[in-house]
Amino acid sequence: MLNEGVGSWAYRRVRSGGQRTAITFRDESWSYAQLADRVTRLAHVLRGLGVGRGDRVALSSMNHPSYLEGLFAAGLLGAIFVPLNARLTAPETAFSLRDSAASVLIHSAGVSEVAADAAEQATTPHRIVVDGAPDAGAVGYEQAIAEVGAERIDESVRHDDPCFIMYTSGTTGRPKGVVLTHGNIVFTAMNAVVDLDLVSDEVALVCAPLFHTAALDFVALPTLLKGGTVHIEEGFDAERVLTVIERTGVTYMFGVATMFDALSEHPNWTSTDLSSIRRVIVAAAPVPPRTLRTYTDRGIKMCQGYGLTETGPGALVLTPDQVERKLGTAGVPHVFTDVRVVDSDGEPAGAG
């Protein structure tokens, strides 16, 4: 294949197990073969709108399979995916559309009013609506992919080519678009597979936002690379998540400490069968000792991650045995990550 990037993953997984379940969402499921077909069709839709190498395709929605389909479809064309926070206002969304020079905005029907306003402000010419009827000036996602062919696409995409632009920060100023290459994402996924011991029968739960790097790059994509199943929830609800874990046999999930505390403090915590979970990873803040004890008492292994959007996000990790021994530290570098600790002058710092 000419395409060495993330966009080729659906095709590559079909070669070794196309009938395996790739994605589940609500009461629907997609095999790897179905995912590859839908991704190809979406790529043809985007190509028909003029999208090609280096063009930007934005997406604004709560968690939905279109995040993964959009990323892969853009990757097939050598285009750049731009996931946006679905909670942004129209002016905030318009800023990211202008800044990224997005030519297409894929969005859920739930944010149609904001999306239409933002696209007009940013002069983004094309909108595609998922999970609902399109408003005036937009086309429907499912109808669009049903009306095009599924001829295989194989453009030359290299590891050094940009894969997506993810906006970060913005608390004291404008958000900054972080450019991550296909190589960044490939090696981030490999870091997760190796350091977290992910296997091909994983059932990974995505309930943190896919417009943030952890859920997308450290849960969904490594699981798909390994050939496992990604179950997508639109958002986090403690009662719903506990139900999903028991019903679908979740083996792996990511969350921040407050999410894991919300689960353990829910009345259904003690009655929910959590035996399928092999490990969870917590990040964004240190793991409180009581949270670690609560989960280890249930036989759940907890890992701690440290990173940032710019590192894709994996930088440092504490494996379950390290968490217990080194709780409160940032961790050790991932297998394919190099880290340098410097002093205030930018010189390498000594031990301690």
User: Which of 109-118, 174-183, 328-337 comes out lowest in average pLDDT?
Assistant: 328-337
User: Whose CA is closest to 42, among 29, 59, 27, 22?
Assistant: 59
d(CA 179, CA 161): 10
What is the reported pLDDT for 247?
Answer: 98
188 shares a domain with 167:
no
224 shares a domain with 160:
no
* Domain end among 132, 160, 181: 181
Judge whether 3 lies within some domain: no
What is the reported pLDDT for 282?
Answer: 95
133 shares a domain with 78:
yes
Say which residue the tokens 């009655």 belong to. Answer: 271
* Domain end among 119, 153, 181: 181
186 shares a domain with 329:
yes
Instruction: List, in order, residues 6 or more apart from 226 with CB less than 8 Å away.
Output: 193, 198, 199, 200, 202
Judge whether 350 lies within some domain: no
188 shares a domain with 82:
no
Q: What is the average per-residue pLDDT within 13-42?
A: 97
The domain in which residue 90 lies consists of: 33-181
Could you report the per-residue pLDDT of 34-47, keeping only the tens digit for each? 999 999 999 999 99
101 shares a domain with 52:
yes
203 shares a domain with 163:
no
195 shares a domain with 88:
no
| Amino acid (1-letter code) at residue 342 | V
User: Whose CA is closest to 177, among 93, 99, 69, 114?
Assistant: 99
Q: What is the average per-residue pLDDT within 201-208?
A: 98
Could you report the per-residue pLDDT of 89-106, keeping only the tens digit for each? 999 999 999 999 999 999
User: Whose CA is closest to 224, among 202, 207, 209?
Assistant: 202
Judge whether 25 lies within some domain: no
Judge whether 293 lies within some domain: yes
Judge whether 340 lies within some domain: no
Judge whether 11 lies within some domain: no
- Residue pair 235/205 in contact (Cβ under 8 Å)? The answer is no
* Domain end among 154, 181, 208: 181
Q: What percent of the chain has pLDDT over 70?
A: 99
Is beta strand 28-31 parallel, antiparallel or unpaired with respect to 80-84? unpaired
154 shares a domain with 198:
no
| Amino acid (1-letter code) at residue 27 | D
Q: What is the CATH number of the domain that holds 52?
A: 3.40.50.980
What is the reported pLDDT for 330?
Answer: 86
Judge whether 115 lies within some domain: yes
Residue 113, CB half-sphere, CA atoms under 13 Å: how many?
3
d(CA 147, CA 81): 23
209 shares a domain with 171:
no
What is the reported pLDDT for 170?
Answer: 66
Prediction pTM value: 0.96
Say which residue the tokens 């997005």 belong to. Answer: 102
Q: What is the mean pLDDT of the chain?
A: 96
What is the reported pLDDT for 327?
Answer: 80
Could you report the per-residue pLDDT of 295-309, keeping only the tens digit for each? 999 999 999 999 999
Could you report the per-residue pLDDT of 108-132, keeping only the tens digit for each? 999 999 999 999 999 999 999 999 8
Number of domains in the chain: 2
d(CA 65, CA 232): 7
232 shares a domain with 149:
no
209 shares a domain with 141:
no
- Residue pair 96/82 in contact (Cβ under 8 Å)? The answer is yes
d(CA 82, CA 99): 11
pLDDT band at residue 324 under the 50/70/90 scheme: confident
Residues linked to residue 128 through DSSP beta bridges, in sequence order: 106, 139
Res. 169: pLDDT tops 80: no
Judge whether 39 lies within some domain: yes
Residues linked to residue 31 through DSSP beta bridges, in sequence order: 21
- Residue pair 188/218 in contact (Cβ under 8 Å)? The answer is yes
d(CA 339, CA 327): 19
